[in-house]
């Protein structure tokens, strides 16, 4: 048995890095496809990363140069696919009427392949850098992602920031390959691809599998997130909307649902997502996540006062991670959950 393990380990060590990445991502894609716990776009993105890594391995390390068109095809669809996955998971549901425009990038790359192949050294890095920068810019404008679980705290935004940075990193690898070829160092190409591209593909695949990166199926198939433009100061309409929201939170306690999202709150109030988010920002002076977490912390305090443990209070109040619970508890109450318990006993 031990000899078999050693032979297996030695075999894995001799495999090219892209092939190892392809095997890992392919296994994960199959596993989540069978489990049915990820959206179609997530699975397609993961499968595309696995296919790209496999084709790179076959062309760069096994000499199957005839697969280069397939390598190009999987490369050009990766950036728009990553953006569409991010968008449908965090911003708004997928809309064929609007999102077909993202086919223009791959179509232009195909045109360049036939009529101006020399331009691909610019087109490919531009696609990766452009979509990566677009993801980062979207997160910089608003980290309160409408379809992200509010109980996840800042993690969804951090995950997608990492994916955006990895797309930019992939663009850098294309630039380095082009420079190496121009300098006559063809032998550098496999090394650059193995290190940069494999790391990028593996990173995008693994990050996109995080539960916090994906919105709920109900929200992905819900209404669009377009809404009213922001206003400079709270209005009577804002005050009325927040009064309705406060009443909903006190009566139905939606904050106890760890999968609560901004989209679900807006749907229950029958208002656009952006209108609700802007009203909370203007009236409460905080984002949606902090507003909801305020109710969760107060629920947790009540549970602690009734004798529940810290873990029971965390889970019973809608939080699903201890780090986010401790951070928000300290922000709202000015003390940690354990200190709250100690002070309660002493009082």
Q: What integer pLDDT is reported at residue 142 of this predicted model?
A: 56
Residue range(s) of every CATH 1.20.1070 domain in the chain = 2-220
Is the pLDDT score of 100 beyond 60?
Answer: yes
DSSP string, 50-110: HHHHHHHHHHHTS--GGGHHHHHHHHHHHHHHHHHHHIIIII----HHHHGGGGHHHHHHH
Torsion 340-344-346-347 (CA) sign: positive
Please give the angle made by the CA atoms of 225, 101 and 93, to the nearest 5 degrees: 25
Q: Which residues pair with 94 in a beta bridge?
A: none
- The most confident of the ranges 148-152, 218-222, 230-234 is 148-152
All CATH 1.10.10.60 domain ranges of the chain, comma separated, are: 236-346
- Span 315-335, pLDDT tens digits: 999 988 888 889 889 999 999
Q: What is the CATH number of domain 236-346?
A: 1.10.10.60
Rounded distance between C-alpha atoms, residue 194 and residue 201, angstroms: 10
Q: What is the pLDDT of the chain when averaged over all its residues?
A: 81
What pLDDT, on a 0 to 100 scale, did the predictor assign at position 222? 46
pLDDT band at 346 (very low <50, low <70, confident <90, very high): low
- Residues with Cβ < 8 Å from 280, sequence gap 6 or more? 242, 245, 286, 287, 288, 291
State the pLDDT at residue 141: 62
pLDDT band at 102 (very low <50, low <70, confident <90, very high): very high
- Alpha-carbon gap, residue 95 to 92, rounded angstroms: 9
Cα separation, 201 vs 51, whole angstroms: 10
Q: Which of 200-204, 218-222, 304-308, 343-347 has the lowest mean pLDDT?
A: 218-222
The model's pTM: 0.74
How far apart are the C-alpha atoms of 327 and 178, rounded to whole Å? 46
Question: Which tops the pLDDT comparison, 208 or 315?
Answer: 315
| Fold adopted by 2-220 | Rhopdopsin 7-helix transmembrane proteins (1.20.1070)
Specify which residues 261 forms β-bridges with: 149
Closest Cα to residue 199, out of 5, 10, 18, 70? 18
Distance from C-alpha of 129 to C-alpha of 123, rounded to nearest angstrom: 10
- pLDDT 10s digits, 119-156: 887 888 899 999 999 999 988 765 567 777 777 777 78
């Amino acid at each position: 048995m031990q000899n078999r393990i050693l032979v297996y380990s030695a075999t894995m060590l001799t495999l090219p890095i892209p092939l190892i990445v392809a095997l890992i991502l392919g296994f994960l894609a199959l596993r989540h496809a069978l489990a049915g716990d990820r959206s179609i776009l997530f699975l397609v993105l993961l499968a595309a990363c696995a296919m790209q890594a496999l084709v790179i391995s076959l062309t760069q390390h096994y000499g199957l140069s005839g697969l280069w068109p397939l390598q190009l095809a999987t490369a050009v669809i990766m950036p728009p696919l990553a953006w569409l996955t991010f968008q449908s998971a965090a911003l708004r549901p997928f809309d064929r009427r609007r999102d077909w425009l993202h086919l223009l990038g791959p179509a232009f790359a195909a045109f360049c392949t036939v009529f101006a192949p020399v331009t691909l050294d610019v087109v490919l890095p531009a696609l990766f850098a452009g979509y990566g920068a677009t993801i980062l810019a979207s997160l910089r404008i608003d980290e309160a992602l409408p379809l992200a679980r509010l109980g996840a705290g800042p993690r969804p935004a951090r995950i997608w920031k990492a994916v955006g940075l990895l797309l930019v990193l992939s663009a850098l690898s294309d630039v380095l390959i082009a420079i190496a070829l121009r300098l006559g160092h063809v032998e550098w190409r496999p090394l650059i691809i193995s290190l940069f591209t494999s790391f990028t593909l593996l990173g995008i695949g693994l990050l996109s599998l995080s539960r916090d990166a994906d919105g709920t199926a109900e929200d992905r198939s819900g209404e669009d997130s377009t809404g009213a433009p922001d206003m400079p100061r709270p209005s009577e309409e804002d005050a009325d909307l927040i009064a309705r929201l406060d009443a909903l939170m006190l009566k139905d306690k939606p904050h106890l649902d760890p999968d609560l999202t901004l989209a679900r709150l807006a749907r229950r109030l029958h208002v656009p997502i952006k209108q609700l988010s802007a009203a909370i920002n203007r009236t409460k002076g905080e984002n949606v996540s902090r507003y909801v977490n305020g109710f969760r912390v107060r629920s947790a305090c009540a549970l602690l006062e009734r004798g529940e443990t810290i873990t029971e209070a965390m889970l019973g109040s809608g939080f699903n991670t201890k780090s986010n619970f401790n951070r928000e508890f300290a922000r709202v109450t000015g003390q940690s959950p354990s200190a709250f318990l100690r002070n309660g006993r002493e009082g």
